[in-house]
Amino acid sequence: MDTNQDLNRPGIEIPAELRQQVTITTLERIYNWGRSNSMWPMMFGLACCAIEMICTAASRYDFSRFGMEVMRPSPRQADVMIVAGTVTKKMLPQIVRLYNQMSIPKYVVAMGSCASGGGPFKEGYNVVPGIDTYLPVDVYIAGCPPTPQALLNGLIALQNKVKNESMKETGWYSKEQAIDVPIPVLGPDVYDPRKIDLIYTETHKPEEVPGEETESEGESK
Ligand code: SF4
């Protein structure tokens, strides 16, 4: 990592003999530099992609080299949620609850086709077609599963995004209180939007009483 290039304020020339000892920077640059090099992912996985995430944390790839350090087992100590795997409708409320419990600023990485768009289970009755319907995703990583290199690349993309954030413009630093994402309720909130007409028809049918003939049945006889 070229610390000087990351930290120095552009346009200010530092004499060559002082470059390793002196940095002239701005508060925003040093703040973002510190945060982007200490992003702590939350330790949780959902399906096969999680195995690749575990590999990325292990010795061969070792994302500690990029400041990720150990994964945090508590959402309150984590900055990054790596959604690694298939998001089922049953798990979704728990994932959103964990996101709400993370301290801000917080970021979401959708790892793999399942988290990004439903993947091979997109049409499944039990699978959500992408976590971005419910949570704000910062980085999408393609693949089924993405390789550890792809995950590292996605995390570096997230670091670059953090480095370019502005304290004046980013929502995290406004005086307004952060609002939690509503926790989806299985049934009324979690459905396939393409089937909204069918769901409407089915849920607005007149209730059938056992033993009673409906009007249309009586007419047809
Ligand atoms: S994207 Fe592929 S590897 Fe990842 S959880 Fe889905 S099916 Fe498994």
Residue nearest to atom 2 of ligand 1 (CA): 144
What distance in Å separates the CA atoms of residue 32 and residue 216, rounded to the nearest whole number? 67
Does the CB atom of residue 144 touch ligand 1 within 6 A? yes
pLDDT at residue 105 greater than cutoff 80: yes
Q: Residue 152: its pLDDT value, please?
A: 95
**Ligand 1 midpoint to CA 180 (Å):** 28
pTM listed for this prediction: 0.80
Collapsing DSSP to helix, strand or coil, 109 comes out as strand
**Ligand 1 midpoint to CA 204 (Å):** 36
125 in Cβ contact with 161 (< 8 Å): no
Q: Which structural domain, as residue segments, surrounds residue 130?
A: 40-154
181 in Cβ contact with 147 (< 8 Å): no
Ligand 1 atom closest to Cα of residue 120 = 7
Residue nearest to atom 5 of ligand 1 (CA): 85
- Does some domain include residue 45? yes
- Does some domain include residue 80? yes
- Does some domain include residue 9? no
**Ligand 1 midpoint to CA 47 (Å):** 7
What distance in Å separates the CA atoms of residue 22 and residue 29, rounded to the nearest whole number? 15
- Does some domain include residue 83? yes
**Ligand 1 midpoint to CA 153 (Å):** 18
pLDDT per residue over 26-84, tens digit each? Answer: 888 889 998 999 899 999 999 999 999 999 999 899 988 888 877 889 999 999 999 99
Does the CB atom of residue 116 touch ligand 1 within 6 A? no
Structure tokens at 67: 């400041």
66 in Cβ contact with 192 (< 8 Å): no
111 backbone φψ class: left, alpha, beta (φ>0; ψ -120 to 50): beta
pLDDT per residue over 138-179, tens digit each? Answer: 999 999 999 999 999 999 999 999 998 888 888 777 787 778
- Does some domain include residue 52? yes
- Does some domain include residue 198? no
Ligand 1 atom closest to Cα of residue 47 = 5
**Ligand 1 midpoint to CA 46 (Å):** 9
Q: Residue 15: its pLDDT value, please?
A: 81
Q: For the chain, what is the domain count?
A: 1
**Ligand 1 midpoint to CA 159 (Å):** 24
- Report the chain's mean pLDDT, rounded to a whole number: 85
pLDDT per residue over 194-204, tens digit each? Answer: 666 776 777 77
Ligand 1 atom closest to Cα of residue 85 = 5
- Does some domain include residue 168? no
Q: How many CB atoms lie within 10 A of CB 110?
A: 26
Residue nearest to atom 8 of ligand 1 (CA): 48
CATH number at residue 99: 3.40.50.12280
- Does some domain include residue 122? yes
Helix axes 148-163, 49-57, angle to 10 degrees: 70
Does the CB atom of residue 48 touch ligand 1 within 6 A? yes
pLDDT band at 1 (very low <50, low <70, confident <90, very high): very low
